[in-house]
Each structure stands twice: as C-alpha cells, then as structure tokens.
Amino acid sequence: RRAGMLTGLGLGLAAAFWTLAALLGLEGIFTLFPWAYGALKIGGALYLLWIAYATWRHARAPLGQAAGATRHTLMAGLIVNLGNPKSMLFAAAVIVVVFPQALSGAEIAFVALNHLVLEVLFYTLLAMVLGAPVARRRYLSLKPVLDRIAATLLAGLGLRLLLEK
C-alpha cells in the first residue's frame, strides 16, 4: 500500500506541476520552441517503452517487498507523469477553457494544490483498495495477464508518441 500511495503522490505532484505550468503559460513556450516539446515527447515515449519492456519481461515474476523498494516509487510516479506531454496538453486544454486568464498568484496556487489533492486522494484510495488482502490475492492470480496487457498498452502509447507528428 505504501508503495502505491508514494507512486500516487509522484503522479499527483507531476499533475499539479503540469496544471501550474499550463496556468503560467507553458503551452506558449512550447509553441515558441517546438524543439522543447519534441524533446519532451521523445523522452517520454522512450521512457514509456522502457517501462513496457520491463513490465512484459517481469510479468511472471512474483511481487516482492524488496528493502528500499518504496524509495523509488515516488520518483517513478513523478517521472512517468512529467515525461508524458499529453498530461501537459490535457492540463493546458482544460485549464484554458475552465479558468479565466487573469488569475491571481493565490488562485493559481489554489488550483494547482487542488489538482494535487484530488490526484493523491484518488491514488491513495486505489492503493488502499488494491492493498486489501482479497483484492491483492485476486490481482496476484491475474498478474501475468494484467502486466502483459499493461505492457502492451504502454508500448502502444510510447510508439504513438514517437510516431505522431
């Protein structure tokens, strides 16, 4: 459960970052410097492909509780979401439509903090549910299949990011 919650915190921190960046006009920077967006896109795609490969390769491996394993889970969640330019584009598209452009600094901070809290609450709930003994046993029985499905989806997303113009 702890590892899932820390991964969720990493995902939430990155989502809040993208929200904050969208509110501060990062989309405009990517418009001015398309190479920066391209670099982020390629880096994110390669990272997704690496995760897909590792997930597929270890699909049959039993889950373990390696010492210090939770140390890297927050960073993994952070990197996954920071390396996903679609997260930034989604934040930019929603933020631009929902919120007025002239938000104060406090309002911008509140919106980003709200996004962080909602993301962390969602992933904490998910970790708690999947950490329950019954759900955990069921997941473990399906782990090889679910991991291969997840790896296929991640590889598809990575390839799509690499190939789309």
pLDDT for 64 equals 64
pLDDT for 27 equals 67
pLDDT by residue for the chain (165 residues), tens only, comes to: 888 889 999 999 999 998 888 888 776 777 788 887 788 778 878 888 988 999 999 998 887 654 456 668 888 888 888 887 677 777 766 676 677 777 888 998 999 999 899 999 999 999 899 888 899 899 889 999 999 999 999 899 889 888 887
Angle of helix 34-57 relative to helix 73-82, nearest 10 degrees, comes to 140
Return d(Cα 140, Cα 65) in angstroms, integer: 14
Neighbouring residues of 53: CB distance < 8 A, sequence distance ≥ 6: 151, 155
Residue 149 phi/psi, 5-degree rounding, is: -65, -45
Q: Dmax of the chain from CA atoms?
A: 52
Q: Helices in 24-72 by DSSP H: which ranges?
A: 26-32, 34-57
Residue 143 phi/psi, 5-degree rounding, is: -50, -50
pLDDT for 67 equals 45
